[in-house]
Amino acid sequence: MAKQTKKKKSIGWEYAPAPESLAQANIAKRYDHFIDGKWSKPSGGEYFRTTNPASGKKISEVALGSNADVDKAVKAARAAYNGAWGKMGGRERGKYIYRIARLIQERAREFAIIESLDGGKPIRESRDVDVPLAANHFFYNAGWADKLEYAFPNRQVAPLGVAGQVIPWNFPLLMAAWKIAPALATGNTVVLKPAETTPLTSLKLAEIIEDSGLPKGVVNIVTGAGETGAAVVNHEDVDKVAFTGSTAVGKLIQRSLANTDKRITLELGGKAANIILEDAAIDQAVEGIVNGIYFNQGHVCCAGSRLFVQESVYDEVMWKLKRRMETMIVGDPLDKNTDIGAINSREQLRTIKRYLKAGQKDGAEMYQPACDLPSNGNWCAPTVFTNVSQSSRIVQEEIFGPVLAVQTFRTVPEVIEKANNTPYGLSAGVWCDKGSRLFQITGSLDAGVVWGNTFNQFDPASPFGGFKESGYGREGGLHGLAAYLDM
């Protein structure tokens, strides 16, 4: 095993540290739930810490949601649905959603800093990806609020009622936007439960919602752990459940809702194939591999965690990939030069380390570049496994860390079969110079999203979602709106 303590080789020049100033981040010592337009103390009086995964230090504490808190939030959401919000026309609803989008843009820097502080992702990503995309989801959905009859012609559309939404820690603000924006555009009300380790940007979003003047009770945010999430999805007065998270919890939710008439969408795990053909532009493809798996520490459901390289270009791709990995900067998420930030939690780091051991035990060869990892906090060097077998756990299971498993192939039918040989079906990527071949392959992959000569590109107008154990239902685009409508 390559030692992570190995001193990083000098590349002849270094970046000077460029950390973001924390002066912009206005974080309270303690946060209550946001229910019925007010900050509401937890009924049990309990709070839990949210920490900075790059240092292990406490940032703030947030309310621990009980069944009673969730009940209060659902009642507020129902009252708003039966009251002002339910009676409001699409044009008026749209104005509020636009206002939320603009307020996110105005406070973009603060959101980016808090996202990186609470979750560990590099500031470059929170600033350039998460926050602008979150604002764009509100803009996009705001535009549809008064045009639903054009979005779904010849249909009588009606909102579903109260939506119970539970989100994970990898894109905290963006996932909140994915969930809240289409629900509001279609006239529903919301109870949202953010992830335990990353509640802060959802609570900052609650501040924006307060500032936007949105009628009380339309959006309620209850913080807590898995039990709080279970209370939201199982509440009898919730009409629609939207869950993003692991396949294991998604299955639990599906089971517990089997006897109800609640509408469900599940966005679950993934194990994406990233396929490099011999005629691909190799330098671009290597950047795509790096972006596909090391982006956001591999805490990405659609991460390109299985790499398939055509045999004739294997040596070239691996040489370029390893050379590129050597230049990656792992460290302070708030530093603008950082490529790989902190692993979100100690538990997640333990999980990743278990997979690193499992990969080696299965006989795969592990490579990590020399990295100066900080001594405190949760860190993992970018890792690539070669000589892996199709049956190895690192090929079959979602790791959710910066760990890539590489396999080779000779022919197109062979790679299609290998790529589809997984219980998941969320995303995939294909790198190839010839358009016709690219479309032949993309059309044969069982994946909800397939990128051609790029990876990890998102757009609010484009539906996102999976096949097989990656869940069902789509978020984004018109499909995302349809999931919140009766028609």
Residues that bind ligand NAP (CB under 6 A): 166-170, 193, 195-196, 225-226, 229-230, 233, 244-246, 249, 252-253, 267-270, 301, 398, 400, 426, 466, 470-471
Choosing among ligand NAP, Mg ion, none, which partner's interface includes residue 50 (Cβ < 5 to 8 Å by kind)? Mg ion
Say whether residue 197 binds Mg ion (CB under 5 A).
yes
Q: How many residues does the chain have?
A: 487
Nearest to 35 by CA among 44, 45, 47, 43: 43
- Which of residues 78 and 235 has its CB atom nearest to ligand NAP in the complex? 235
C-alpha to C-alpha distance for 196 and 49, rounded to whole angstroms: 9
Choosing among ligand NAP, Mg ion, none, which partner's interface includes residue 230 (Cβ < 5 to 8 Å by kind)? ligand NAP
Stretch that binds Mg ion, among 196-204, 227-235, 294-302, 449-457 (CB under 5 A): 196-204
Say whether residue 196 binds Mg ion (CB under 5 A).
no
C-alpha to C-alpha distance for 423 and 255, rounded to whole angstroms: 19
Is 301 catalytic? The answer is yes
C-alpha to C-alpha distance for 206 and 81, rounded to whole angstroms: 18
Stretch that binds Mg ion, among 50-58, 236-244, 372-380, 471-479 (CB under 5 A): 50-58
Burial class of residue 254 in the structure, from the number of CB atoms within 10 Å of its CB (0-12 exposed, 13-18 middle, 19+ buried): middle
- Which of residues 392 and 470 has its CB atom nearest to ligand NAP in the complex? 470
- Which of residues 244 and 386 has its CB atom nearest to ligand NAP in the complex? 244
Tokens of 47: 């709070």
C-alpha to C-alpha distance for 285 and 409, rounded to whole angstroms: 16
Rounded to the nearest whole angstrom, what is the least distance from the CB of residue 169 to Mg ion in the complex? Answer: 8
- Letters for 84-123 (x = contact with Mg ion by CB under 5 A, - = none) are ----------------------------------x-----
Of the residues 20, 115, 267, 469, which is catalytic? 267
Of the residues 110, 115, 125, 301, which is catalytic? 301
Q: Which amino acid is residue 303, in one-letter code?
A: A
Choosing among Mg ion, ligand NAP, none, which partner's interface includes residue 118 (Cβ < 5 to 8 Å by kind)? Mg ion
Choosing among Mg ion, ligand NAP, none, which partner's interface includes residue 240 (Cβ < 5 to 8 Å by kind)? none
Is 267 catalytic? The answer is yes
Rounded to the nearest whole angstrom, what is the least distance from the CB of residue 478 to ligand NAP in the complex? Answer: 17
Rounded to the nearest whole angstrom, what is the least distance from the CB of residue 114 to ligand NAP in the complex? Answer: 17
Ordered alpha helix ranges (H), 83-147? 84-87, 90-106, 108-119, 123-125, 131-144
- Within 8 A by CB and 6+ apart from 154, the residues are none
Q: What 3-state DSSP class applies to 482?
A: helix
Rounded to the nearest whole angstrom, what is the least distance from the CB of residue 308 to ligand NAP in the complex? Answer: 20
Nearest to 308 by CA among 269, 284, 277, 279: 277
Give the pairing type, strands 427-431 and 471-472. unpaired
Count other Cβ atoms within 10 Å, centred on residue 300: 22
C-alpha to C-alpha distance for 130 and 401, rounded to whole angstroms: 18
Rounded to the nearest whole angstrom, what is the least distance from the CB of residue 465 to ligand NAP in the complex? Answer: 7
Rounded to the nearest whole angstrom, what is the least distance from the CB of residue 55 to ligand NAP in the complex? Answer: 20
CB 455 within 8 A of CB 304: yes
Among 25, 32, 50, 264, binds Mg ion (CB under 5 A): 50
- Which of residues 166 and 419 has its CB atom nearest to ligand NAP in the complex? 166
C-alpha to C-alpha distance for 464 and 466, rounded to whole angstroms: 7
List beta partners, residue 308. 275, 407
- Which of residues 253 and 282 has its CB atom nearest to ligand NAP in the complex? 253
* Active site (catalytic) residues: 267, 301
Contact residues toward Mg ion (CB under 5 A) are 50, 118, 197
